[in-house]
Structure 1
Amino acid sequence: MPRAVDFHVHLPTTEFMQVTLGPYARAAEKFFRTEVKLKDIEQIAADYAELDMIGVLLAWDAETATGLPPLGNDYIAEIVKRYPQQFIGFASVDPHKGKVAVKEIERAVKDLGLGGAKFHPGVQAFYPNDPQFYPLMEKIQELGIPALFHTGTNGLGAGTPGGMGIKLDYTRPIYLDALAADFPGLTIIGAHPSWPWHEEMLAAMQHKTNIYNDLSGWSPKRIPEVLLREAATRMQDRFLFGSDYPFITPQRWLRDFEAFDYFTPEAREKLMWRNAQKLLDHTAVAQMKFSG
């Protein structure tokens, strides 16, 4: 079994950091108090192999709202194809592209073999529960893949006048609650600790069992303890480990997590990989890695 599944991995490549993120990258580095060193795919794969981790690689398409080119689904799928033991890929589509987005998510799953969908409502400028995007959500539910949505504050644009145009209201988890109600067959993952609306996230998770939370993007030392306590106890089946690499490395996240001694071995195992296995067992990579 792998040591962990890192459910939230961005690529520190030129294609993502300089082309797709473009002007947002510097603000993100400042927010995370880090300087991202660019790496090639071979180095990233070697790093995750050394850590004995599966990484969930995230595509990115916010073209309508930002005017920046996507980090395409074909790009992510090719990496997964090259390193099938190391990575699982999540597709991204721009919801504003309408029928094109619906066709693309189907192609990404059926033809490219990607295992989930990734959205950033703040940067993509949309509400997940807006009915105009429901044909897309219906297709994702039909495909049987999880959908991951950024929630809470945003490192992109943080600390700049006007936040580079990004509006935080799009990222409130209460909108995922409405989406979960309208699509009970859709597995929804709120990415990050959702601060300052983390209690909204907990309320939605408690009420609707098709909502999960990944704890990426924050050092565990900074995560509101109420979330970690729930991850250790009554909602231990619905939290996921994620780093938000390269802005936070998995090494740092796990090192800081060691301070929390109230996780039982069973709860820790669920957070690190068992809950991810449950959500990803439809993918070929997970079937290979978890078959032992």
Structure 2
Amino acid sequence: MSIHPTAIVHPSAKIHESATIGPFCIVEADVVVGEGTILDSSVVLHSGTILGKNNRIFHGASMGGLPQDLSFKSETKTQLIIGDNNLIREGAIIHRGTKPETPTTIGNNNYLMGNMHLAHDGKIGNHVIVVQNTILAGVVDIGNYVFISGLVAVHQFGRIGDYSMLAGCSKIVKDVPPYVTIDGNPATVIGLNAVGMKRAGIAPEVRNAIKATYKVIYHSGLNTKQALAKLKSENSPIPEVQNIIRFFETSKRGVTDHRQIGSGKDSSDE
């Protein structure tokens, strides 16, 4: 392994032989650093942080610090668990969970840009991009293939559905459903995330089914309960349609309202 002489590494930390610990880094007790992971410089890994393979943590990032929760007892042992192949840029701050059974978790292949913050008990899935200075409050749940632009603020307990896109400076106070684009303060649904779905290889017929599903929810004149009942009665075999139905049914905060979605064009043109 490569550990710079100015780094401070606790003897109980488990550092893979292929990992790199750069200058002025601090690695506390009960930390795990996996194969091929690189800490650039002045990175702090607090107790209870677990890093998987081939991550790179850039200058000044702080991983696994105490939750910003007034009820948290500092002697409670909790964790931040980070998967593989993540890039976490300069000055990012990610706090560990408040309870042993609710670690803060980050999946694989994510790109978290500078000065972003993920608070306690938060979850980020796979292939997520979070742009500069975005704030994700405690107990948020971010799905897969989500794009969160800069200066976005997500309310505590908020859920962000798969393949959604959040425009810059959006204020997120309700759950964001899958496959949509939202914007505003407070944010509203303004369309489908057609570009994101195309890039992810979602087939045109599936994109059209997603569009038709949202037309029932937002434009049929039915309330949400009635719209979901109608969609369930149609028993679509498309997993993405079932994902939308399940998301609405399990929302506790309520789902973001629409401003404009579905203009009669094929979803591939939106």
Say whether the fold is shared (TM-score over 0.5): no
TM-score (norm 1): 0.23
- Higher RCO (Cα < 8 Å, 6 or more apart): 1
Which structure is higher in strand share?
Answer: 2
Normalising by structure 2, what TM-score? 0.25
The structure that is helix-richer by fraction is 1
